[in-house]
Structure 1
Amino acid sequence: MRILFLIHRSQARGQEIFATQLANRLLESGNEVALVSLYAGEFDLKFKGSHFRLNLTSGVETLFPWHWQRLIEVIQEFNPELIQANGGDTVKFLSLTQSVFSFSAKLVFNNGGVVSHYLDSNWKKWVYQKLLSAWDGAISVSRYSQTDLAQLLPSTCKQTQIPIAIPAQEFLLAPRSESQVFVHIGGFTQEKNHVELIRIFGEYLKRDPKAQLWLIGDGPLKMQIQTAAQQVAPHAIRFFGAVPNPWALVPQNSILVLSSKMEGTPAVLAEAFLAKIPVVTYAVGGIKEMAEGFATIRLVEPGDHPSFIEAMTYWAHLPAEISGPALANSASKAKDRFDFGRVSNQFLEFYKDVCG
């Protein structure tokens, strides 16, 4: 098949990283795949095929027809059978382009999150429904995400649910740290809720003044999050930026902590299972589904800081003879559940179904 992937920008965000890994996998299996990014980005996504960069500078530019023409030129050059939109402004941009220019490629939305979280008015919901009115297929990362999106899709749009996948790899972590390290890996965006996590960590420091919180990632709210860290615990919170292999920085005795307001099914959880790192997270979005069958993740209701701190304390003090077998069991289950070969085949079968 000839498949065109549309992404927001070249950045170290789960949506773009997964889309690139999937595109590479499809290339390796004999398909022709190209990548288009709307906005400029400096992160190296390591895509092995052709990457077309539109280099838009703001979301307003997606509303201007002369930028749609640039995408049409790529479509005419590559001549895809199917175009997949992957998060951010990709649905809006592709829908508007299709409304003016005619092309035969089928449109598929790879729904890696919870769309309704961003549609806080009936007007926005109506607009999104109009944008999706001519789409041919939608792939959701979880049952939660699929149910959420279904209310916006036309009856003619085919739907399926395909989980995230993690490329087969060995997670080589950093040596154990003398102090307890809690780590967060993710973009500095509103939904990741870093400021609340910093407040929770500030309370935890009363129990263990030597503990550290490591924040790995980057994004538009970086300055705000750095300010919050300075106010709460400047000596104990470290920033590492967006790096190609974040787990190489993570000590073997770390604990992953997430306080997101909303999530689809974050790949970092699957990676934590495979890396044998315990997890404490708010039970939002598709995270409950990801936790099914795994004993090394503690779910906390959003806003329940005392329970979050108790879960952090539990993992920090659990003897290795108890935690070790449980972490090994989670890694074994994760290797099977998040197998990239099986997942990429599911994507390809759905593409064929949509294209008829």
Structure 2
Amino acid sequence: VKTNEEERLINYLFLEKKYNKELPPVEQHGDTVDVYLALTLSNLISLKEADETIVRIDHTWIDYRLSWNVSDNDAQFEVAYYSNVLVDPSGLCYWLPPAIFRSSCSINVNYFPFDWQNCTLNFTSLTYNAKEIRMLLKEDADEENKWTVEWIIIDPESFTENGEWEIIHRPAKRNTYKHIPMESNKHQDITFYLVIKRKPLFYIVNIIIPCVLISFLATFVYYLPADSKVKDTFISSFLKTLGKKKQRGEPLSKGLVCFRYLMFIMVLVTVVVLNCVVVLNLHFRTPSTHVMTRWTKRFFLERLPRILHMSQPAEPEPQWDGALPRRSSSVG
């Protein structure tokens, strides 16, 4: 019986009433069709130069040609045809197509890995203007209240969290631009904002903490004696480690605080390496291999003690063997 009721209702809607999907669902010329949109997020795939998301878009509108009298068809069912549009007796059409969207958004990584990104999904009609359809946010209701869904819907049962990003805000907004005429398809649109924040734990453990420890340990190279053969190896190993950490970073096109800190540590360690080379070179010099230049002797024995307010040792008096030399006198 239910199958016969469905067949009779479909014949009534599409054959007897001669339904034409090419015509807009308006009773009179000049009427506007209200289309309600809602976005359901299922998964955030990745974030590179673009943001890929798996979503479902709720489309809801009323088509008076698809309405029927419930008393004439008392079966409990909803009509669905090949485009997966659900129709209720009032003519309300509900279409829920799944899709994968790629939203291009400007990525600002100045405060990596504590950055957040704002990726937007903008929906508008390319074929109909604001006088033909009016784009609205979906409305929901319960037994007592009715409200507008001004956010991206997330179903906890079907949503899969991303391992690198977390969603912190997901508002939705209907925009109308008064400076653009209603005859243009750019007069109105609906924008869904997806604000995501990076999970920094991985980068803190693998980049920030090692760099801080390396910069701390690099200063201890001065406590190693100059005769130690591992002094240069000790500090050069830090420089190699920092180079590998830099290669693991993401390709960055803008200024980055973490990147600047990493470059500062690399320059600091490089200076320490050069300093150690100079110290070792001076330490292993001997009178038989090198001759102290005149400017070196003057700098370390005369100028540097004066700058450091050091007193120079007095010259020792000459020692005489036997009787003291007799001084010459003007007298006799």
Please tell me the TM-score bracket, short chain as reference.
under 0.3
User: TM-score scaled by structure 1?
Assistant: 0.17
Structure that is richer in strand per residue? 2
Structure that is richer in helix per residue? 1
User: TM-score scaled by structure 2?
Assistant: 0.18
Structure showing greater radius of gyration is: 2
